[in-house]
Amino acid sequence: MTHPIQEVLQRIGVNDHPVAVAVGNTWQAGAGEALTGKSPIDGSTLVTLTQATPSDVDTVVATARSAFQTWRNVPAPRRGEFVRLIGNALREHKADLAAIVSWEAGKITQEALGEVQEMIDICDFAVGQSRQLYGKTIASERPGHRLMEQWHPLGPVGVISAFNFPVAVWSWNAMLAFVCGDPVVWKPSEKTPLCAIACQQIVNNVARDFPEAPDGISSLLIGGADVGQALAAHPDLPLISATGSVPMGRAVASTVAGRLGLSLLELGGNNAMIVTESADLEMTVRSALFSAVGTCGQRCTSLRRLIVHDSIADKLLTSLKKAYEKLPIGNPLDEGTLVGPLIDQRSLDAMQTALRTAEEQGGTVHFGNPIMQDVPAGGCYVHPAIVEMPGQTEIVQQETFAPILYVIRYTELDEAIALHNGVPQGLSSSIMTNDIRQAEQFLTPAGSDCGIANVNVGPSGAEIGGAFGGEKETGGGRESGSDAWKAYMRRATNTINYSTELPLAQGIKFDL
């Protein structure tokens, strides 16, 4: 019997070529070992392919390099038109792509559709950006001179992405890269190969009818960490944008730094919500719930720490536990399900180990048990956990990529902010409060130390319009909105002398 995903793939145009390496319209098997892609929903086999190896990297990068020679000269608004058409194709295939995301990453339909919507949104954003790649004109200190800066295409960009946002994170990078004049070479997570194949096919479909789009504007290499490392080491990829774990980011960053390349990193988060005594509790429960259990706790931005004022902690915990009790957990494709499966058994084991460790460190665990009944067989389903902790112990300072919400109490806001910032990661954060002074304090230089700091909104579910990323072990990169586009371009500072004299800067005299 054919898997229901086959029909979806065919509608996108992925027929009989789910293979590991794609350079534009040329699809081929990799030189590596076989990879079997299984669905976290029920363990069913979705795809079998031969993976790429580091030996496949050179040819792919060479094609991207030659694509760059032409794409960089296409006027940026035309490059924007290319992205506008990709956005249209994504609109057309929104439900199909979301279904692939659900089958491969285990997301509930609403969240999978939301992820594809992020792709459409970044396309729109990038189209607008394509007419706004502004440089400055700067007053020169010399008479008859003008200083200006231009933003030029940087070169082919290597994108390494994770399983949990298998399509959106690539699109944040790729759509900006395309309008900035850069081809993209993508190494997705081995856990979500079909998502990547479908995206590559969608770009191919558009590129085929777009005269200026060179072959190799978009390439794909499905392979393991060795392929990621080969991209990181490649001198013809001036920028590597990597999303995933801290150890992965560290390995990539040191390789890229070794050749003095640029890296854009979006790594782990250990995101918190401070709930002050004046918070709207109903809103707090709703936003904490979405942030903590949405995507089964597998977002970089997932809420992992709830830092609650002592005076309201009992009340909040009672309401939260009530909400957790009735969480609809199960097949993410079923309407009404809010929590789908974890990605795999390793993830479930890591969660169970973290819960035992938390107990050893003085925690009281509520829920958190694996679920076997009324869920599809073959998937790793779990009841999200709430863990009351006596303080911010070692396990609380780690990111466990699963739905564990640690609850810590505080009495003074300064103490709450210190706890908040007292972890190695710095991605997203939030404060729930109706006290404007507390809200503002959270946003000052002495407040949250994260790249994203929200008031009365949970830490997850950011819009694409803002710059996305964070500090400390999160890696410091910024993707998506605001001026993140600048990372995909190189800045040239130009001094133009339109006089007949040759005055030197700093008033230096240097005449014979």
**Tokens at residue 496, please?**
């133009």
Strands 471-472 and 157-160: unpaired
Report the amino acid identity of residue 42: D
266 noted as active-site residue: yes
Identify the active-site residue in 266, 388, 473, 479: 266
Residues 6 or more apart whose CB falls under 8 angstroms from that of 361 comprise 389, 390, 393, 394, 395, 396
CA distance 422 to 418: 6
Among 169, 303, 385, 489, binds ligand UN1 (CB under 6 A): 169
> CB–CB of 182/208 below 8 Å?
no
Q: Under the criterion CB under 6 A, does residue 299 sit at the interface with ligand UN1?
A: yes
H or E element at residue 461: none
Measured distance CA(26)–CA(21) in Å, rounded: 8
Task: Give, as one character, the DSSP assignment of residue 142.
Answer: S
Please report, to the nearest 10 degrees, the dihedral formed by the alpha carbons of residues 73, 78, 79, 81 taken in order: -170
Least Å from the CB of residue 502 to ligand UN1? 53
Q: Does 400 bind ligand UN1 (CB under 6 A)?
A: no
Closest CB 161 distance from ligand UN1, rounded Å: 8
Q: Binding to ligand UN1 by residue 241, rule CB under 6 A?
A: no
The stretch near ligand UN1 (CB under 6 A) out of 78-86, 163-171, 210-218, 257-265 is 163-171
Minimum Å gap between C-beta 195 and ligand UN1 is: 14
Among 77-85, 193-201, 457-465, 494-502, the segment contacting ligand UN1 (CB under 6 A): 457-465
Q: Which is nearer to ligand UN1, 70 or 290 (CB)?
A: 290
CA angle 446, 449, 455 (to 5 degrees): 85
Closest distance of CB 266 from ligand UN1, Å: 6
3-state secondary structure of 286: helix
**Selected range binding ligand UN1 among 10-18, 275-283, 295-303, 487-495, rule: CB under 6 A:** 295-303
Applying CB under 6 A, the span of 124-132, 249-257, 297-305, 364-372 interacting with ligand UN1 comes to: 297-305
Q: Which is nearer to ligand UN1, 82 or 170 (CB)?
A: 170
Assign 470 to helix, strand or coil: coil
Q: Is 462 in the site for ligand UN1 (CB under 6 A)?
A: yes
Total number of residues that touch ligand UN1 (CB under 6 A): 11
d(CA 234, CA 192): 24
Give yes or no for residue 460 binding ligand UN1 (CB under 6 A): yes
Is 243 a binder of ligand UN1 (CB under 6 A)?
yes
Binding mask 301-340 for ligand UN1 (x = CB under 6 A): x---------------------------------------
Site mask for ligand UN1 (CB under 6 A), range 404-443, x = bound: ----------------------------------------
- When asked if residue 164 is in the footprint of ligand UN1 (CB under 6 A), the reply is yes
Asked if residue 340 lies in contact with residue 332, where contact means CB atoms within 8 angstroms, the answer is: yes
Shortest CA distance to 384 belongs to which of 403, 358, 364? 403
All residues at 6 or more sequence positions from 69 whose CB lies less than 8 Å from its CB, including other chains: none
Q: One symbol per residue from 89 to 128: x for binding ligand UN1 (CB under 6 A), - otherwise; what is it?
A: -----------------------------x----------
**300 in contact with ligand UN1 (CB under 6 A):** yes
Q: Is 461 in the site for ligand UN1 (CB under 6 A)?
A: yes
CA distance 459 to 158: 28
Question: Any residues with CB less than 8 A from the CB of 282 and at least 6 apart, and which?
Answer: none
Buried b (16+ CB within 10 A) or exposed e, 301-319: bbbbbbbbbeebbeebbeb
Nearer to ligand UN1, 207 or 293 (CB): 293
165 touching ligand UN1, by CB under 6 A:
yes
**Closer CB to ligand UN1, 118 or 182, in the complex:** 118
DSSP 299: S
Note whether 484 binds ligand UN1 by CB under 6 A: no
- What is the spatial distance between Cα 395 and Cα 243, in angstroms, rounded to a whole number? 23
Q: Is residue 402 involved in binding ligand UN1 (CB under 6 A)?
A: no
Positions annotated as catalytic residues are 266
> What are the residues binding ligand UN1 (CB under 6 A)?
118, 164-165, 169, 243, 299-301, 460-462
